[in-house]
Structures are given as C-alpha cells and as structure tokens.
Amino acid sequence: MRPVSDSGSGGLFGELFGRGLAGPSDRDWLQAMLDTEAALARALERAGLAPAGTGAAVTAAAIAENFDIAEIGRAAVLIGNPVSALVRALSAAVPPDAREAVHRGATSQDIIDTAAMLLARRGIDAIDADLRAAAGRAADLARQHADLVMAGRTLLQQAVPVTFGLVAAGWLTAIDEARRELDRVRATRLAVQFGGAAGTLASLGDAGPAVAALLATELGLPEPVLPWHTDRQRIIQLAAALAGVCAAAGLVARNVTLLAQTEVAEVAEGGGAPGQGGSSAMPHKRNPVVSVLILGCTRRVPGLLATLTAAAEQEHQRAAGAWHAEWETLSELLRLTGSASSWLASLLTGLLIDPVRMRANLEASGGLPLAEHVTAMLAPILGRLAAHDLVAAAADRAASQHISLPEALVADPAAAATLRDAGIGPAELARAADPARYLGAAAEFVGRALAAHGQLADGA
C-alpha cells in the first residue's frame, strides 16, 4: 500500500485538535528563534557593538524557509537543543562582517525562552480573537433569552428554575474572566530572556544591560528585572492562564452535551457542515460533536499544566532536564487551547435553543423543583420546620404517585386541612409552583454580566 502523505495538511487529527492558529509548528519555532537572533543583532548594532548594517543583514537572512529544519534537528542531539546548529547555519548565511554579531552575548536558553515568549504572544492573540467571538455570541444569548425559564440542575437533578439567559451569562463571565487573565499575562509576563552563560551577561561587559533593554524593545517584549533562567513562574502563569481558557471552554461544552441529550433536548448544535454530528454506525445520530472536540482538547490540559509546574523546580543557573521538558509541553498546551477556543466560537455561533422543550421539561417535574418556594410561602404561617416537613411528605407522594406537588398537597386530608386553616387554596399553590415567579436575582445577574462584558469590550 502506498503511504499517504500529510504534507500541507493537519494529518489525521490536526483538524480536530489543531484547529486555530495558536499551536506552533517546528517552522514557527525556528522562525521565532531566528527572529530573536535577528533582533539581537539589531540591538548590538544600536548599542555600538556591531558595524552599521549588521542588523539588517542578519534580519534579511533570518527566514525559516532558508534553513533545513530536519538537519538542524538532527544536530540538536549534540548539545541537547537546536540553537547551536541554528547559529552555525545562520552565521554561514550572513556576510562575513556580520557574523560576529550572530548570537553574541547569548546562550541557547536565551534564544529558546525568548522564542517561546514570541510564540505565546502570537498564540494568545489568536486565542483571544476566538474568545472574543465566543463571548460576543454568549452575550447575545444572555440578552435574547434573559426571560426564558428553564430547569436549574444541581447534581444532574432538577433544582429551582433559572433562565437560559442566566446560563449563557455564566458562560459569558467565565470566558471574559479567562480573557482578562490571558491579557494580563500577555501584557506583563511574556518577558524577553537575555542573561548569557549564567545570567550575568559577562561577555558583553558593561553593555550587557543596555543590549538586553534594546533586545526587549526590538521584540516588543517587556524587559524583566533580571534574567529568569531558572525562575519559571512566567511559564507557570502562562500555562495557568491557558488552562483557565480551557476551563471556560469546557464549562460551555459540558453544559451543551448534557442539555443536548435526547431525553433533555433543550439545546442542539447547528450551523456545521453537512453531516456534522453523524455516526459511522447509526444514521439517526446528531451528536454534539463540536462540544465533544472541545472536551477532547480540554481534558488533556491539566496534565500539561502539571508537567510545566513540576518542571519549574530547576537547579542553580541552568536546569538539568526540566527546562527541556517545557518546549513541547508548552507547544501542545498552546495548540490545544487554541483549538478549544476556535471550536468554542463555532459552537456558540451555531447553538440552537428549544424554548418549548425547556418548558415541557419544567412541567414534567410537576412543580417539585418549586418545593422550596412553597415551603417559603407556608413558613410564616406554619413555622419553617413544620412547613418543610409538610412539603417534603407531599413531594414524596407526588413522586411516587406521579402527580404534581400542588395536587399532592391538597390530596392528603391532613395537609389539605392545614392549608385551609392557613387560608391557602389551589390558586395560591399554583402561583407558588409557577417557575416564572421564582427566579430571584436572575435578571439582575444577567444585567451585571452584560455590563461587565461591555466594559471589557470597550477596553479591548
């Protein structure tokens, strides 16, 4: 059988778990390292440590397509990372009078860490674009369905009623809070790395700090207080922010899978390609496949976060293995977060809501989720504990006899007598069992979420 090439494609699983633009490829890593080397050459020239034109010459040569990724990768085994081979190849590609500026003052970790920061910045920008689209759609859903009553559910059982607008507002707030943290990390934690062999920049003499500042300026990254070779809090904070995005995406996706179950059917995925949601065996299936793919991404993220956290304990001025464990782990985390965010925007854009089914599911409960409301109505008359016991007994009868809670209350002679003495009849019980009359601060909370989202959008 002739092997099938995946050249130019995402391979068998790339379209599922590598969606979006956040996940760096080997070429992206190479270009980010080259961008760092080129920026260093420009910084050295600006500091008066390289001849005029050096920066432009190195920058012109620092194009990933000009280099053999496979050859650089093979040579990486000699020192445990690809930078030395890259430096040799880049030096050979620039004019002789510019070669002394290639990699001057730097160590391999400076180049790889700074490249990681550039890739993280690019990834965050892509992720945020998808999150912004997802949040906009969640805001639309919250606004449009602020008064749409549905069953609240706790421990997967019907609880007191909520509105779908409140559910969507919860999604919106989670997404917006993840965006805020991601923005904070992008603005303040993606610092340049430049410390030389052991964090002193000794090879540059007194000019070291000035070159570091110029390198940061060239790359548009913050300059840290000092090199952070074995202080990996920036990596942990970046990883945690990405995990927060996945937590928000997973919240929405899990809600949708539960609400889209055949027996619930209150929402459904829509807007996909023909055949999306089908099954290889069952022609009738309409699976919530987008939600499933989001969860397929997000379930892998906690392990990646744990790896990066474990790798943060590093020795002296250079780690013996922990630093190396970060590279592919961070790439995978960016890729999966970007994919989940892209799928999330698609999910919310096409989400279909079924108000009729929501109402039917509420009515099927026979008013049992309103037991708290009925108890609150009776408590001032009967006392809180007596009211609780009376309603609890009626709820048991309603469940066992398949009748409504108001029917169960009036069907029991003792309970009916107590209610008559309290001046409570069927009309009062019906009002107490009306879901629309027991929504608490749902409308206010929706308004708060939309206001907070508006402030974030105004500041974007």
Residues that are catalytic: 279, 318
**DSSP letters along 56-100, please?**
HHHHHH--GGGS-HHHHHHHGGGTTSSHHHHHHHHHHHS-GGGGG
What's phi and psi for 74, nearest 5 deg?
A: -65, -40
**Distance (Å, whole) CA 197 – CA 110:** 9
Strand partners, 352: 268
| Cβ neighbours, 10 Å, residue 127 | 28
Angle at 168 between CA 167 and CA 173, to 5 degrees: 100
346 burial (CB, 10 Å; 0-12 / 13-18 / 19+) is buried
Strand partners, 161: 151
What's phi and psi for 105, nearest 5 deg?
A: 85, -10
132 and 140 Cβ atoms separated by less than 8 Å: no
Q: What is the DSSP letter of 205?
A: G
Pairing of β 157-163 and β 149-154 = antiparallel
